[in-house]
Structure 1
Amino acid sequence: MKTYSEHCLRLISVLLVLGLCLNGSSSAQASSARTGQDFEAFFDAVLAEQLAREHIAGATVAVVQNGELAFAKGYGFADVDASLPVQADRTLFFIGSDGKLFTWTAVMQLVEQGKLELQADINTYLDFEIPTAFGQPITMHHLLTHTAGFEDEAHSLFVENESDLLPLREHLTRYQPVRVYPPGEVMAYSNYGSALAGYIVERVSGQPFASYLTEHILQPLGMNHSFVGNHLPPELAADLSQGYRYQNGRFDSLDFEWTAAIPCAPIRTSAADLGRFMLAHLNEGCVAGNCILRPETVSQMQSLQFNHSQQTDGMAYGIMRMRFNNQIVLWHTGRSPRFVTVLALLPEQNLGLFVSYNTPPADDGRAILFRFLDTFFPVERAPLAEMPLPDWQQRAELFNGNYVPARSNHTTPEIFSRYAKSTEIQIESGRLAFNGWEFAETEPGVFNQVSGDRLLTFKVDENGRRWFFVGILAFFQVPWYETPGFLLAVVGSSLLLCLSFLFAWLFCRKQVSAPGPFETGLSLGLGLFNLVLFAWLSLSFLQYGSTFVYPQPSVDLISKLYWLSLPWTLMLLVITLRVWLRNSWTIGWRVHYSLLTVSALMFLWLIINLNLFG
């Protein structure tokens, strides 16, 4: 039971944050008006509430401002069982994809030295080949902006055991994804592209990737409580936070997460150390007289390098760039099965924010970033002046439909995960509804969020495919037969037909005109076979969603087994044609059997569409 004093402390913290919200500065407020005490009051209130509400074991925070660490603090526990608290200057958190910023910093160091050219074909630097496609090479500029055009692939995330780790070159050659977009046209976040950049750092520098980052970034910045790679030295291992997932009323820990391709998620660090990295990127590349980048390189990294349209947010080099509450915000998130991290730089305010959780929150970490920006950089949003364009009704239906992210798989069974990422755009009361947000059209193909800063744009490419863009994200429309609804219809109808046929046969099998045991077993066996394998596939990808370890053994076995469905379905088709030609059975049995055959053919088409035949 909470004590009276605990309630008072909580109330005081909340009132402090409310005071900041009510008396907060406009976007032009001088940064000197925000103090470490202000930041502490904000995070004390927000994180105390969030950790309790979302069952998060611990979090660590750093805020840098005006060339110094303004605030750093740990919250909750690094080890729940041992009641070991998080310490911002000591506890190491795994920051996932936020570690890519170190990879991109290393790339730009080599660009400074003239060892890499941003517009050169990356095959120039590799000892294996990225196949040509679309008549254009991939350049380092494309890797830095995630516009190389690779399909998404899961193998660059995590592996289950240390023994599953591969040398970086072997990993890159074994799991090379297909190029599905022309380079420079679509932002499709790519772990493989990041791993490729890290390997190029190795090749060009002549040093192992981890050694290069340690020598040229961590050591110059004095990041002595940080480490690159999968194998922590004993002196740091004791300070590594456990990673947790809250389930069944308790925290389940995972001691370590094995990164398949180190350049994708290379860093375990403390909040205070990460603050030094942010300071370098806010202070023209230098901290305490030690420089890792030139001022002009920092400026180049933070400048807009790609966006899908003039109206939308885009990519700087290696980091997302948006305008929110009249502030330019450079941001990145990192996620692993147990850790979630968000990092943001506000160059105009000379301010950086880092928050990392050792238990996944309900979102990807951006909620606390937006709350921070709304508190310390509030703006008054005028109501959107909605005035439907004259031809809105004629064009409205063009936008309806199912869309999937550009960051998705196209050629392997991993395409199955695309169905979980599918999103639907609907037209409701003259507005466009997407992801719980409402947008109103302000010019043809351009939609502003009714109550927010988001902007959504549409285009039709040269192949007639419809796209929409929101922030840095791109989505393309899929035909009706690639939607989750159609997938469920095929699976559901197959199940219902199998059950109805089974019950009908059990009650009426003694009729002279009923199907025999062979015909019945053939049809029901195929239906059951397809459904069981589909359930297995679904469970495998469901597990992948929580572990980030691609279920390769299961998918390979399911793919091999599904080959049996091809002759099985053809045999069923032959029998169906024969019973119609010979006028066997009653019309009811023939129709029912034919529906089972059609269902089997649809399932076969689904298997092909999911790339399960390889």
Structure 2
Amino acid sequence: MVAKLNRGWCRRMASALVLLLGAGAGVVGAAPGVPDVSDGAVVEAFVDGAVKAQMRAHHSPSGVVAVMKDGELVFAKGYGYIDVERRISVDPATSLFRPGSISKLFTWVSVMQLVEQGRLDLDVDVNRYLETFQVADTWPGQPVTLRHILTHTAGFEDGALGFLIVHDQARILPLNESLAKYQPERVYAPGEQVAYSNWATALAGLIVANVSGENFNDYVQRHIFDVLGMTHSSFVEPLPPALDAHMAKSYTHRQGRYEELPYELVSNVGPAGAAAVSAGDMSLFARALLNGGAYRGQRILAPETLRQMLDEGFSHDPRVRGVGLGFIKYAYGPDGLDVFGHGGATGVFKSHFGLSRAENFMLFLSFSGPGAGAVRDNLLKAFYDEFFPRPSPAIEPPADFAERSGQYVGNYVTSRSAHSTFEALLRLVSGTSVEALPGNTLMIAGTPYVEVGDKLFREVDGVERVAFQAGEDGDISGYVLDGTQVMRFYRAPFWETRGFTTGLLAAAGLAAALVLLRLAYQWRRYRTLPAPARRAETASIALAVPTLLFLVFSALGLSAELHELLNAIPLTLKLAMVCAILAGLAALYHAWQSLAVWRDGLFEGTWPRLRHSLLSVVGLAMLWFYSYWNLLGFYYYD
């Protein structure tokens, strides 16, 4: 503990020196005391220390890290094995990893290539470019445009479970058919709310195909990969045999052993995440993006187009970084580093691709396995803190903040969520809480923040910023995080909070369990009850059984690994929905029987009648729960 505190104190002092000594130089990473990111040996020593133990601890069988500075690949190294059984080591030049949503950057470049040619317009209705289906006219007079899609402000709900990443090639549809089949609801007016959308990105890829006359995968191959010499990259699924031999296999980890998983097939929304790439190839792509769109005389974009992609975009608050035309603007490093790029995740692989024009710098990393996310996130923060430290001077909280802290307190839910399918339930686990703390600070998602401006907060012991927004009535309506403005957290009603939902489900489970325990204890009495009273008791049993089964099947279904849930809806979740329908019908019948209990004076005494009525209340509350969260039916894609 002492060593960690000393290290943190030293790092803060070093950051302060960076601020003082580097302010006049105008060079982000050149201050004394900061490790040289252009020194491959220094970078290797740091990454080795940050990665190897983490990969072992989190069961990540393979990974790759590449660092480029001033056009030179100063460090590129593979970790672990692309084939665990055959002990084939990762080669950063040739081994392929799944970059997930980093694939979107190739889609955005493709769109902007056609914009340069005058074949696409960012500001017209995308339905102009669609041939076999149309985007629903949910908001008359407010069509979705490519600008909305590139900035994730088209307003679509999110969805993934059961269809986003599949394992069976027979489930792959032509892109136009899959997008028509899986078209999500438009839940926000376009241009008003960031809400990350894989479907919308895939739609942009379909538009590229329609306008160019080429299959999307072929278009990217011809106009980006071939142009830059990216010989170990492809959107094709499954991979061609020559590339498949270099692919890092997918694994999960069970009972102390790695078990191979099928190749993840993302083709149903391919332009959003189907790429497989090598670190070496990503460095070629980075060279072009950092060199005005060209590499070795081969151009993929004009310099002014790249500037447009970074300068234009969307932000809920200009004081925190938003999203460009496709590029995510990250909060890593000091002001002026201006990291842009994209992160990516499949069910197995977790990746990052970050660029800085100020430093002519690239960081690409990708890890696989069940703990890949932890390895990626730990390395990301540590790397940027080490080589591009950001000063975080202490700030004294405003003395009068307690007077207005209450306006921020509440529960907030991400705008990137489902609304018309049972996946809406995920809002319950993606939400955050905001609490007022002593000392005039706010606790946001477990981290203390201090007010530094009007509705603007900074992490007490760090540099992350949060900007709140107010609605037309002046009340706080939501907030955005600096560097992750592809989603917004909006203020949730109490019935969408984990606390309320946990309490409701616990009450339902306890009430149902007590009904069955009472039945077991008083079985003989139950059998001898008069017919009207026995019907009322039977109604309680009919409500308790499907309620308990709903809770059990839901817990079993949601305990599946992510890659399993993305591939298909488990049978247990489908059974849970059947139980929800049965429990809903039973709740209505039980309420009818409760009226009979009081009307006809069934049972002896007030307590048995009150107990019966309380169970009706719980049953009707659960009926509302099933309806609100789209569980009274089979609302999912599969």
**Structure-1-length-normalised TM-score:** 0.91
Alpha carbons 2:549, 2:576 under 8 Å: kept: no
> Do 1:89 and 1:272's aligned partners in 2 also have CA atoms closer than 8 Å?
yes
Evaluate the alpha carbon distance shift between residue 416 and residue 551 of structure 1 in structure 2; reply closer, same or farther with a 3 A threshold.
farther
Residue aligned with 1:158, SS: coil
Distance 2:607 2:75 in 1: 76
Matched, 1:469 2:480: yes
- The answer for the alignment partner of 1:355 in structure 2 is 365
Aligned to 2:148: 142
1:5-62 alpha-carbon deviations (Å, 9 max, x no partner) = xxxxxxxxx9xxx9xx899995534598722233222222222232233232121122
Structure 1 vs Structure 2: percent identity of aligned residues?
33
Shift of the alpha carbon at 1:79?
1.3
State yes or no: 1:445 paired with 2:455: yes
Paired residue for 1:113? 117
CA distance in 2, matches of 1:190, 1:379: 31
- Displacement of 1:132 in angstroms is 2.2
1:523 paired to 2:540: yes
What amino acid is the match of 2:631?
L
1:309 match: 317
**Residues 160, 549 of structure 1: 8 Å contact kept:** no
Residue 215 of structure 1: CA displacement? 0.4
- Equivalences for 1:19-30 in 2 at 5 Å? 26=22, 28-30=28-30
Within-5 A mapping of 1:49-448 = 49-127=53-131, 128-134=133-139, 135-154=141-160, 157-259=164-266, 260-323=268-331, 324-326=333-335, 327-359=337-369, 360-363=371-374, 365-388=376-399, 390=400, 392-429=401-438, 430-448=440-458
In structure 2, stretches of 5+ residues that fail to align are 1-6, 634-638
Q: Counterparts of 1:544 and 1:123 in 2: how far apart (Å)?
A: 37
Deviation by residue 1:308-327 (Cα, 9 ceiling, x = unmatched): 11211100121210343222
Looking at structure 2, the residues matched to 562 and 458 of structure 1 have their Cα atoms a distance apart, in angstroms, of 37
SS in 2 for 1:363: helix
What does the per-residue CA deviation read over 1:358-416, in whole Å, with 9 as the maximum and x for residues that have no partner? 2243538343222222111224321122223x3x3343222222211010111221111
Task: Provide the alpha-carbon RMSD of the alignment.
Answer: 2.5
Structure 1 Cα separation of the partners of residues 37 and 274 of structure 2: 36
2:619 maps to 1:600: yes
Match of 2:560 in 1: 543
Residues 534, 170 of structure 1: alpha-carbon distance in 2 compared, 3 angstrom cutoff: farther
Per-residue Cα deviation, 1:435-474 (whole angstroms, up to 9, x for no partner): 2311112334221111212111222324767211112141
Q: How far did 1:516 drift? A: 4.7
Counterpart in 1 of 2:598?
Answer: 580
> Contact 2:414–2:490 at 8 Å: present in 1 too?
yes
Gaps of 5+ in 1: 1-13
Report the TM-score when normalising by structure 2: 0.88
Shift of residue 568, structure 1, vs aligned partner: 2.3
Cα deviation code 1:256-282 (max 9, x no counterpart): 111131111121111111110111111
* Matched position secondary structure for 2:372: coil
Aligned mates of 1:501, 1:33 — CA distance in 2: 66
Q: Distance in 2 between matches of 1:99 and 1:108?
A: 15
Q: How many residues are matched?
A: 594
1:88 positional shift: 0.5
Relative to structure 1, the CA distance from residue 379 to residue 309 in structure 2 (aligned partners, 3 Å threshold; closer, same or farther) is closer
Counterpart residue identity of residue 549, structure 1? L
Question: What's the secondary structure of 1:279's corresponding residue?
Answer: helix
- CA 1:501 to 1:379, structure 2 compared with 1: closer, same or farther past 3 Å? closer
SS of the residue corresponding to residue 73 of structure 1 reads strand
